[in-house]
Chain A
Amino acid sequence: METTELIVVNGLRIRRGAFTLDIPNWRVEPGQVIGVVGPNGAGKTTLLEALAGLRPAAPGQIRVFGRNPWRSPVEVRSALGFMSDDMPLFGMRIAPMLKMISGYYSTWDAGLAEELLARFELDPRQHVDRLSRGQGTRIRLVTALAFRPRLVLLDEPAAGLDLSGRRALLESVLEVVRDPERSVLVSSHLLRDVERIADRLIVIHEGRVVREGPTDELVGEGRTLEEALLEWGAA
């Protein structure tokens, strides 16, 4: 049977000064939530940015939807939702900003955008420049999700979110994978949240993959993900 991986990584090597990210072999199937975990500086952001086509990788090292995200940014990004905390926004009110962004995506779902605004308790009349940090995170999540991307990459999406924001985030992630064709990668320090919703984990430490596999098999029973990370020296 033909495989339909959303992501195929093969011998990925990215150097950044003294730091090297090394991912020998990794695949992401559709219909899953994947937690990307590891301490600060482990290489999580580098990996997510390379997958989103924001960083170059040598040809053949990364395939997203079968394409090189660096060489085919338009094709890849049209079905890939990327969210990080420092992603720039447009200095206008939320409603017209979303209207403008919607023009970039043929799959933009205005109804879903409205639902997401309500779930994240955002007022479409609010001006983006006057949002709190948490509200900024929320609106970035809305823009990453509202065009129903096949692949969603969330880099520390819970930073600055309060409890209700985190709940809305977790619900939104699981809503994506109600569609068995779509997957979400989420990097977060909130290990309990990751453990709760992730089907698989990739654990990175100092640029290397320490563990990769189904969450329940990796973590095992009677311990938390945090305890497991300590044991693997990746806390």
Chain B
Amino acid sequence: MARLPVQLSDASGVPYYRQIVDQVTLAVRTGQLEPGARLPSVRDLAGQLVVSLITIRRAYADLEAAGRIVRRQGQGTFVAENVAATSPRQARLEVAVKLGEVVAHARRLGLDATEIRSLLDRSLQSKGDADGDH
């Protein structure tokens, strides 16, 4: 069974169930958790992460509602088969769309290309918590 790549932080102020949802979602999207992989039971994961059972139930319910995981009666909880890992091509496309939005917004605010580029460079160099690289 997959040990979930989840690290809970007290400092972030983000509720534990949300942290679990976000980190599992990321692990599924990056292929760190493969489609069909079996997830720990609610009680096992609560023990592993040292949080209440309701926290895990809530996280699993949200993940199931989002189609990331499936629960099969009497068998357990699995990473959904139809959630393919994001391909590099798809990832580039997604990021290009996001960057397009940011650039358009920056231009509306009156920034020029040099300023936008330098901001992008700075953001690439900083270890923000938005980089998803835990």
Contacts and interface: CB of A to CB of B under 8 A. Distances in A.
Indicate, yes or no, whether A interacts with B.
yes
Contacts of B52: 33, 196-199, 215
Nearest to A180: B43
Nearest to A194: B52
Contacts of B58: 216
**Interface class of chain B by DSSP:** helix
Interface stretch (A3-11, A92-100, A112-120, A166-174): A166-174
A113 to B, nearest CB: 19
Contacts of B55: 196, 216
Contacts of A197: 50-52
Interface string B12-47: 000111000000000000000000000000011011
A214 interface: yes
A175 interface: yes
B53 A171 contact: no
Interface residues of B, number: 15
Size bracket, chain A contacts: 20 to 34
Nearest to B17: A216
B47 A171 contact: yes
A114 B53 CA distance: 26
Given A178-B43, A178-B44, A216-B58, A33 B53 contact: yes
Contact of B47 (A32, A175, A192, A216): A175
B54 interface: yes
A215 B50 contact: no
A161 to B, nearest CB: 15
Interface in B47-93: 47, 50-55, 58
A50 interface: no
A196 B51 contact: yes
Interface in A200-233: 214-216, 221
Nearest to A167: B50
A177 interface: yes
Given A178-B44, A196-B16, A221-B15, A171 B54 contact: no
Nearest to A221: B15
Contacts of A216: 17, 54-55, 58
A219 to B, nearest CB: 10
- Of B17, B47, B51, B58, most buried by chain A (CB within 10 Å of CB) is B47
Contacts of B15: 221
Interface string A184-199: 0000000010001111
14 contacts: A31-B53, A167-B50, A174-B46, A174-B47, A175-B47, A177-B43, A177-B53, A178-B46, A196-B50, A196-B51, A197-B51, A197-B52, A199-B54, A215-B52
Given A192-B10, A199-B54, 5 more contacts: A32-B53, A175-B47, A196-B16, A215-B52, A221-B15
